[in-house]
Amino acid sequence: MSELHDTSRRAFLLGASAAMAVSATSAMTTSGAGGAGAAAAPDTTSPAADDTALLNLSAVEAVAHMSEGSLTSERYAQALLARCQAAKALNAFIALDPARVLEAARTRDRERQAGTKPGALFGLPIPVKDSVNTRDYPTTAGTPALRHFQPAQDAPVVAALRTAGAIVLGKTNLHELSYGWTSNNLAFGAVHNPYDQSRIPGGSSGGTAAAIAAHLAPLGIAEDTEGSIRVPAAFCGIAGFRPTTGRYSTEGCVPISALFDQIGPHARSVWDLVLFDSVVTKDWRALEATPLKGIRLGVVRDYWFTDLDPQVERLTRLALTRLKDAGAEIVETQLPGLGALIGATTYPVQNHDVRLALARYLKEYATGVDLEELIARASPDIQRVFRSDVLPGGENFVAEAAYVAARDQHLPTLRRLYQDYFARTGVAAMVFPTTLVPAPRIGEETSIEVRGRSLPFDVAVARNIAAGSTAGLPGLVLPIALTPAGLPVSMEFDAPAGTDRALLALGLSLERVLGRLQPPHV
């Protein structure tokens, strides 16, 4: 573990140039380097005067300070918990136990005082999407029937983070059963967008995204089957990374389809995404930002750039200009047949597999609930979609022949289409606006007006993200600007399958050019 820790310190603290000046650290301590024993009694009801500096730390910075003892884990946890309380109206969490978080933080401080070498995530509280199993919190998947389900052990990804020294900062709210893009959860309440609380944060990982955007934590666990990492990242103005399908284990995660499901991180900086990736994959090779000069970025206008909201179109155009000015080459071409392949693959696979995968999960993890009861107790909106699209007898039920064609014919064809595209063009990544519109209002979930034309909600929110996750590609979402109304707009960069580290290295340079957003006023 010490070798991994030393490697991570070199790779991140030197490479990111992220550590704060020594003069600033004195404002972050409650008792010098003495540790948790001398800390004042915790106050988690309101932020302290010096909490702002702590809340603005990246995960890399926070871990560096806690590892060296210039900041205690307990003091940092106090600051985050106070922020969670102050931003409670966002409804980002389903479960949060401050006493448990603080005790875990004190344990980290005692370990450091005893001479234990800190792990790569030492003392870092991390919010976990409430569809990912945790041994010390229920895993509800945002649905009533699992409200009291307590897994016996952590999902492997959670276990890896804990082994590296992380602390679970509660379970975040989500779209019920991860089956939607709004996080307007009728069972546990809607999650609110930190930039405008009348609007959705995106889904299904809306609680994690809202928490990261509002500085409740710097790094969190999300999950993406068809946009559930990337849509919330886009609407909340943060960085989101969906790895190549299969890069991280999805064991212990409430499933939709093994062909598409993928856990991944939300953060406010690409270096924090790199840190997460290194911990989970145990890949500690040093990573340097890939220079943009000469990098080829692919643009397919006749699919990803049509029907855009005027502000999304304007800000995307300006961002592409910034990338070109930084030396990137924009390669324009087409992908004939892409739309038809997505239509024949994405929904048929998901709506077929979820019925079987959910039933297996409920049995394997001894939830005490079967699929019939789960759906019978689900919220009305989820019941409607399952009865229409998932369960036998529904008008859109996926017949086995259609599923086999989607899995064995259309999906391989889609993957070859992408492989041929990347080989033919030599682009490092495709680039496009993540969503067609900024965050819609809560309740605006049927259709959205764009340029005087009504677009179906799923087209406006999910059309652009569906292709990459269906094909299993790694996708990186980065914010580019705020609209005049103060809503985030983002771009997605999709790279060839298996090139995750290269995409993250590219992302370091992309982030420098595109910048970061001003945090929301919550």
Cα–Cα distance for residue pair 209/242, rounded to 1 Å: 13
Give 132's DSSP letter: B
Q: Does the annotation mark 204 as catalytic? A: yes
Residues contacting 114, CB < 8 A, separation 6+ = none
Token duo for residue 291: 């220079």
Candidates 8, 228, 257, 278; catalytic one: 228
Place of tokens 């948790």: 36
Quickly list H helices, 248-394.
270-281, 301-304, 310-325, 338-364, 371-376, 380-385
Cα–Cα distance for residue pair 215/267, rounded to 1 Å: 10
3-state secondary structure of 102: helix
Quickly list H helices, 164-241.
206-213, 230-236
With 0-12 CB in 10 A as exposed, 13-18 as middle and 19+ as buried, what is 299?
Answer: middle
**What is the widest separation between alpha-carbon atoms in the chain?**
67
Q: How far is residue 336 from each of residues 296, 300, 333, 347, 423, measured CA to CA in Å?
A: 20, 10, 10, 20, 16
Among the listed residues 171, 186, 184, 280, the one whose alpha carbon sits nearest the alpha carbon of residue 232: 184
3-state secondary structure of 225: coil
Token duo for residue 516: 């970061």
Candidates 67, 131, 204, 278; catalytic one: 204
Candidates 8, 58, 73, 129; catalytic one: 129
3-state secondary structure of 198: coil
Cα–Cα distance for residue pair 269/219, rounded to 1 Å: 9
Cα–Cα distance for residue pair 51/28, rounded to 1 Å: 8
User: Dihedrals φ, ψ of 262, to 5°?
Assistant: -160, 125
3-state secondary structure of 247: coil
Length of the chain: 522
- Give the N- to C-terminal CA distance of the chain in Å, as an integer: 39
Cα–Cα distance for residue pair 274/376, rounded to 1 Å: 41
Contact 379, 332 (CB under 8 A): no
Among the listed residues 509, 490, 476, the one whose alpha carbon sits nearest the alpha carbon of residue 243: 476
Token duo for residue 238: 């943060």
3-state secondary structure of 262: strand
Contact 171, 128 (CB under 8 A): yes
What amino acid positions are annotated as catalytic residues? 129, 204, 228
